[in-house]
Structure 1
Amino acid sequence: MTLTVRPRRRFRSVPALLVSALAAAVLVTGMPSAALAEPNEVGSSKVAQMRKTLDSAAAQYLEAEGLLEASKTQQRELNQKLAAAENRYARSRASILKYAAEAYKSGRLGVVGVMLNATSPDEFMSRTAALERMAARDEARISEFVAARTEIDQTKGAIDAQVKEQSKQLAEMTKLRKATERALSAVGGYAVNGWVDPYAPTAVAAKRNRDGSWPKESCSENDPTPANGCVTPRTLHALRQAQRWFGHYVSCYRPGDMYEHPKGRACDFSSEPNGFANFSSGPTNKLYGDKLASFFVKNASRLGVMYVIWWCKVWVAGSGWKQYSATGSKCGDSPAGDHTNHVHVSIL
């Protein structure tokens, strides 16, 4: 009888099977990379309430700052107007004093005497016309003198009103700064050193009203980022200015968010080149985020920046850098909430 020898089955070891499976997964999906989904920034109801207060207080602070600047602009214009009025007053006063001195020395003839000394009807009419011109000139001198004095008094009153307005806005800014700090303290927002680089690029300033205040804007411009929504003209300007020097992935509009994103007044700048990663950036891309945060802080007054969040810290207009934690855990445990994978900027 012929014996048939069956071939032995070759069993792969468990480690070998795992290696093969992982290799196949890598071939299909590639190495871990940044995702394009927008980050979920809010980690708790306490943080949500803080962000809501922060949005309101920072916006009102910038509005008050704009009104303060407008008041200062008006005061400068009023000071120029006052100087011009005082010059006219001084000239008209000197003219009247000179005229009075000359009249005193020469002993001016009365109107009747001038008329009686006329030797002919023509001379009589000529003297009458001369007297009328003198009277008109005297009246003009006195009118200019009185008008200049009135303008001086009114302008000084207007300047006093602007000084009061500035005191009011400064008091409002102080109140809003305290409100911001109280909101931040609820989530451990104590003062810290943050990113301030005097050598950061200088942005072109956004448009303001003639008096220095910020114009009201709506979500009227197309969002050029992949978010495919709308942004305000001021947000679009800030985005374009940042993209002159910072080229990583960015997304602005986001529907359904309770803060600035659906209003077109906020953008998230990924610290990773190609999208939002679900991990904290390494040293190279963290440095990118540091520089981007510094850019927005340096140019806050030029671009209308309300606040910047990056790497467990938040910079707020009027308050500076504060500690920020969305989860209350170790910084970086929640990359999106702690903002260790993207820089958030909100624009007035």
Structure 2
Amino acid sequence: MSSRHPYRRVIVALLAACVLAGLTATPASAEPGGDTGDEGAGANPTLGSVLEDTTRAWTDAKARFDASVQHQAQLTQQLQATEAQLANIQEQVSAIAVAAYRTGPLSTFAALMDSGSPDSFAERAGSINEIAHHNDNLLHQLKLLKENQAAQKQALDDEVATQQQQVQTMEQQKKEAEKALALAGGPSKGFVSANLPLAEPTPRNANGSLPKESCSVNDPTTTGCITPRMLHAMQQAQAAGFKRFVSCFRPSGPYEHPKGRACDFSVQTKSGFGGVASGDDFVYGSTLAAYFVKNADRLGVMYVIWFKQIWTPAAGWHHYSGVAGDPSSDHTNHVHLSIL
């Protein structure tokens, strides 16, 4: 079985107990790009499909959650402004009510008859009309502000409900991803570093979700194609200083390479993939893996595999081992990146 799709190794291992009993995997080639001609002979896309579905669902739920939190902050500001206006109007209305209680209601007829001249009569008539109009406006504003306040409070309640729903979705997808990865081993510490640059965000839909993309742009590492998002992730990594050998598109197989949504980043300074990384090569791979994890949301990362460990946005780092136990299938000579 070719190791050109290194993730296929973990799929065979994870599903062996339940869906691949009795199947025997052929040895992997020395490089992820090698082709033994039996691509997918013992592979089953079930786990790959589960991880893709759970990661996309988790990522979309997180995008909706983040958008809801942002909208909630905007609604909160609007509500605070409305309530400040409401307090001011209520204070004015209360002052009018107190004055009317103390002095009694103003008799329009008495006020007009008390005028000493025609000019005074007209002036008082205009003032009375202006006061009545002002009071009507205050009451109208008070009514509108109370309606706005109620609507904004309901909108805030709706956002809280949306967030709770997305949290539940994310938690469910996390459980599904962890279940799929359980046979590979439990959670691991993984590779994390805060002292890494932020990538430029990949384009998203208006609701924060990632648009579906096809293998539509030229792959600069092969004669094949990759998706615009995969190209963006590779270029961002290279701009951050990760410029060693990369191989992306593969023409066959059931997983991300032939879809243009995966790249293998060698950790050695020369072309190719070589043996188990150590020293500076290991540090390079660990730092690159941490870079992709830190920028997973910005780049639309589906999963990262490095040095017998796999990371997904929903489940985090988990232990991992390839079927053949060689550097390519164990991912001890390269970092594998799959993009949604």
Please show how residues 141-156 of structure 1 align to structure 2 within 5 Å. 141-156=138-153
Q: SS state of the match for residue 201, structure 2?
A: coil
Q: In the alignment, is residue 323 of structure 1 matched against residue 323 of structure 2?
A: no
**Contact persistence 1:208–1:215 (CA under 8 A):** yes
Amino acid at match of 1:250: V
| CA distance in 2 between partners of 1:229 and 1:136 (Å) | 75
Give the letter for the 1:307 counterpart: Y
Matched, 1:206 2:171: no
| Letter in structure 1 aligned against 2:266 | S
Structure 1 range deviating more: 86-95 or 108-117: 108-117
Map residues 1-348 of structure 1 onto 2, 5 A cutoff: 37=33, 44-46=42-44, 48-118=45-115, 123-186=120-183, 188-199=184-195, 201-207=196-202, 213-219=208-214, 222-223=217-218, 225-243=220-238, 244-277=240-273, 279-327=275-323, 329=324, 331=325, 333=326, 335-348=327-340
Compare CA radii of gyration and give the structure with the larger one: 1
Where do 5+ consecutive residues of structure 1 fail to align?
1-33
Percentage of identical aligned residues: 33
Q: TM-score, normalised by structure 1?
A: 0.77
Aligned to 2:20: none
Report the AA paired with residue 339 of structure 1. H
Partner Cα distance (1:208, 1:134) in 2: 56
- Residues 5-25 of structure 1 deviation map (CA, whole Å, 9 limit, x = unaligned): xxxxxxxxxxxxxxxxxxxxx
**TM-score (norm: length of structure 2):** 0.79
Describe the SS at the equivalent of 1:45: coil
CA 1:139–1:215 in 2, change beyond 3 Å: closer, same or farther? farther
Give, in whole Å, the separation in 2 of the partners of 1:291 and 1:53: 27
Displacement of 1:117 in angstroms is: 4.0
Unaligned 5+ segments in structure 2 are 1-29
